[in-house]
Amino acid sequence: MDFRVLAVGDVVGNPGMDRIRRSLRYLKRNTGADFVIVNGENASVVGMTPRQAEDIFDAGADVITMGNHTFGKRELVDYMEDTSRLLRPANYAPQAPGRGWGIFETNAGSVAVIDLQGRVNMDYTPDNPFLQIEKILKQLDTKLIFVELHAEATSEKLAMGYMLDGRISALWGTHTHVPTADTQILPKGTGYVTDLGMTGPKISVLGIRPDLSIAKFRGDLTSRYQWADGPTKLEAVLFTVDTATGLCKGVERVDICD
């Protein structure tokens, strides 16, 4: 039996939220996805509100993952404590609100989803994700295990992929908002892509108005970042997993763009 997981790149601002509302259910149906995981940490550009989380769930997401902007909107804290389907990085300090991984029941049995954050070139340095994942895996007894690594460095994501190859079903990266062309099945059977990309403004710099990013790099006096207007895109990857082995059989991009 096959189990299909749709992983959707970082949702950015109102344009990203609009695209999720319009397109996620269609994409889920069109790909035959059994389970949908969406990164929502940039829904408010920096952070996500409870209302935005509810909208993403209503659009068809089964789990929402976060990253270094998890606590950008503090009103999310109480919501995180009450919602098992919203995950923040598991390698945050143990006293941090929320949870970093979960077990979810599906028609194919139990599915584990783990959210991690990288440490290379990131503003915030949580615990070592390579050591944290080992602790979590010891607690799991399901074959269907999906890991997101929210990280800047491609090398960190690749290293994690190879370390977990054959031990989990799939691993994908988020955070850079730029889709990578390396969808693959690693030698021992784990599905992998370095970065999913993003969901939001197509004509932008990582979802932000180009002129604002240009001004920052020029050294000009800048204003607060704002999302770009215009056409939007949804970038995602579909992982097809054999439920008998827990290993990946297929990895493909399933992007939507205006």
- The residues carrying an active-site annotation are 69
CA distance 233 to 217: 25
Q: How close are the terminal C-alpha atoms of the chain, in Å?
A: 34
Helix axes 129-137, 154-164, angle to 10 degrees: 30
Enumerate residues 6+ apart whose C-beta is below 8 A from 70: 41, 47, 76, 88, 89, 92, 98
CA distance 256 to 258: 7
Give, for 201, the enclosing helix (H) or strand (E): strand 198-201
